[in-house]
Amino acid sequence: MNAQKNQADSEIRQAIDRENPATVAAFEGFDGRAVFAIAVAFSAFQIWTAAFNPVSTMVVRAVHVGFLLLMTFTLFGFRQTAERRRVPWYDWLLGLTAFAVGLYHYVFEVDLIQRAGDPSTTDLVVGTIAVALVFEAARRIMGLALPIMCGVFIPYALFGRHLPFGLAHRGYDIDQVIDNLYLSTEGLYGTPTFVSASYIFLFILFGAFLERAGMIKLFNDVSLGLVGHAKGGPAKVAVISSGLMGTINGSGVANVLTTGQFTIPLMMRFGYRPAFAGAVEATASMGGQLMPPVMGAAAFIMAETIGVPYSEVAIAAAIPAILYFGSAFWMVHLEAGMRNLVGLPKDQCPSALGAVVEGWYLILPLAALIYLLFSGFTPLFAGVIGIAATAALILGTTIVGTVGSMALRVAFWVAVGLVAAGLWKLGFRTEHLAFTMVILLIIPCLLFKGGRQTLVLVVNSIADGAKNAVGVGVACALVGVLIGMMTLTGLASSFASTIVDWSGGNLLAALVLTMIACIVLGTGLPTTANYIITASIAAPALLTMGVPLMVSHMFVFYFGIMADLTPPVALAALAASSICKADHMEIGWIATRVAMAGYVVPFMAVYDPALVLQTGNWLAVAYVFIKACVAIALWGAATIGFFWTPLPLLARLYAAAAAFLFVLALPLTDEAAFVMTGLFLLWQHRRRSVPSAAPA
């Protein structure tokens, strides 16, 4: 029994560490100071290159990976241990070697360009070391699954001419493989690493700033004020709070560990069983990767992969995200109705308006970020301005907090605006102006104790952002190996034709195969890696079968996320189990029911792309949205076993059948589904009017 418990604790710890490396180690002495300084330097490098563009994109990618590997070898040991208080000398050696390898492109950039396609022996040796270090770093963070999956493609490229069963290709020499993986933009430094270095890091840092500044408390207070007193209020608070957290944090497991510390005990205190409480939080937190404007790291990679502005991806994800959280909200409402669970007393709930009035300044950077993203600016520019605006507001609010007079506070912000306007007239670029204002606000903060404490908060946020970017960044670098080898050998097109053949040309069969592949891959891979692989293999197959480009990629994106809820691994459920102390498998199975919309909406989007706004006909959008809402209501009733009254088994099957007809979107299926829904509502209305049918 103890051995099983220790194994479960180890799995939970590894899942948490993978998504939230800021908590992975508590270093002491020199090691603690050194790792902290590296994290700050990493963030400073990313901000500097994003704001000032001083070096080429290849150098940015290489140094970015160098920093990622240095932090990985210092934060994660060769073996998983309970605590890591010191960094062994050999991990320092590995980390510093990896960082030096990352600087190779910076030091020899001109030489590498001049001998492009004809690497020297030194280039090949350094490249081999770089590839090996990336594999080892990924193993330490994610275990063996992803490194093995990516690693098999290297011998496939080397020995392709000797392979049977239609897998053979011309084969490539080792120098061609290393050239592709290390010296080109197709391997380690491919599109995933480019997106990690350009966009993902900045948005993770942006979220770290807002979390440190108190955004979690603001979201929790607003959620409590809105629905805390309603039927099943604590669970509804979890759904809304996690949905709001999704606007700044694209990590599902990290959301569980932040909002879940508050919402899961609250749900349990008001009658929700532990496994259900954990499942609700896991479901809502995973939805954070679907919620614009930030979404998950995979969404940024999707935008770059299919060649559209990120704002288009966010717009396409808007209705599915609303349906996802609406479904979770509906599920907990039905659970509360079935079990007669009440909300918090009204006098114990904070005022939502009061919380907004108190923390209004935290909303401004998020509003600015949304405006910039949807006004045609790049995510790089929006992220830089968002970080600078958040830092300026935190520092400025601390300064005006020392001033008692409201008039003087207003005068201070007016003066800040006038200084910014003056710098603009002097010709400062927007990014340079923003960080100049931050530096000007740092100076007065150095002069009093509260200001210095705020500066410590800012620096800690910078370090947390760097640490939390490690898992995603290393996964992006490693998956670049798979993409590079598939591109080199032409394997991606072979996979696509295989999926089409297996499905017999049937779209539904191809969708089911793709869904299964996404979920199976997700049992051992983080969401970002899962999306990149399935987008390379399965999405082209859907595209050849007539599914629009955005819809095909959104389909695999969705199921890559749902894999983190689906047993047997269910990483979000693992994280929730560490708080609610329930079996993570039980949490995972309940979460799959609560998140039913996440499994249904992607299929509906394929059959009617209006659901992801791939049409200019707003009547079509309104129709499919209403249809999806009705389908989700029926799925919820079938899943929970309750609507207005408890449902017997036959009624649950009837509701599920009606919902399934809405998904199919074939001739007459919608009409039949609406008729069945009307009959179901009429039956429930009549049954509710009978006192003996009401729940106890």
- Whether the predicted pLDDT of 80 surpasses 90: no
The pLDDT tens digits for 518-569 are: 777 766 567 777 777 777 777 777 787 788 888 888 888 888 777 777 776 6
The pLDDT tens digits for 557-605 are: 888 777 777 776 677 777 788 788 877 778 888 888 888 777 788 888 8
Buried b (16+ CB within 10 A) or exposed e, 36-74: bebbbebbebbbebbbeeebeebbbbbbbbbbbbbbbbb
- Whether the predicted pLDDT of 97 surpasses 90: yes
Whole-angstrom Cα distance, residue 527 to residue 562? Answer: 9
Residues above pLDDT 90, as percent of the chain? 8
pLDDT at 92: 92
Q: Which two tokens stand for residue 235?
A: 């669970």
Tell whether the torsion through CA atoms of 346, 348, 350 and 352 is positive or negative.
negative
**What average pLDDT does this structure show over 632-659?**
87
The pLDDT tens digits for 144-184 are: 877 888 888 888 888 877 777 666 777 788 888 888 888 88
pLDDT at 693: 47
- Whether the predicted pLDDT of 68 surpasses 90: yes
Q: Which residue matches tokens 């029926």?
A: 634
Q: What angle do CA 73, 75, 80 make, to 5 degrees?
A: 90
Full-model pTM? 0.81
292 residue type, one letter: P
Q: Which two tokens stand for residue 6?
A: 């220790």
pLDDT greater at residue 289 or residue 385: 385
Q: Are 248 and 212 in contact (CB under 8 A)?
A: no
- Whether the predicted pLDDT of 670 surpasses 70: yes
pLDDT greater at residue 77 or residue 66: 66
Average pLDDT across the chain, whole number = 81
pLDDT at 449: 80
pLDDT at 96: 94
Whole-angstrom Cα distance, residue 608 to residue 620? Answer: 9
Q: Hey, is 445 helix, strand or coil? A: helix
Q: Which residue matches tokens 């080898």?
A: 485
pLDDT at 132: 93
81-84 LR contacts (CB < 8 Å, sep 24+): 82/13, 83/25, 83/26, 84/24, 84/25, 84/26, 84/27
pLDDT at 695: 44
Q: Which two tokens stand for residue 174?
A: 């080792």
Q: Are 363 and 356 in contact (CB under 8 A)?
A: yes
- Whether the predicted pLDDT of 280 surpasses 70: yes
CA 376 to chain centre: 22
The pLDDT tens digits for 434-466 are: 888 888 888 888 888 888 888 888 888 888 888
Q: Which residue, 1, 4, 3, 16, is CA-closest to 578?
A: 16
Neighbouring CB atoms inside 10 A of 405's CB total 9
Whole-angstrom Cα distance, residue 388 to residue 241? Answer: 25
pLDDT at 2: 53
Report the chain's terminal Cα–Cα distance, integer Å.
39
pLDDT at 696: 36
Q: Which residue, 149, 140, 147, 201, is CA-closest to 18?
A: 140
Question: In this predicted structure, which of 136-145, 301-310, 569-578 has the lowest mean pLDDT?
Answer: 569-578
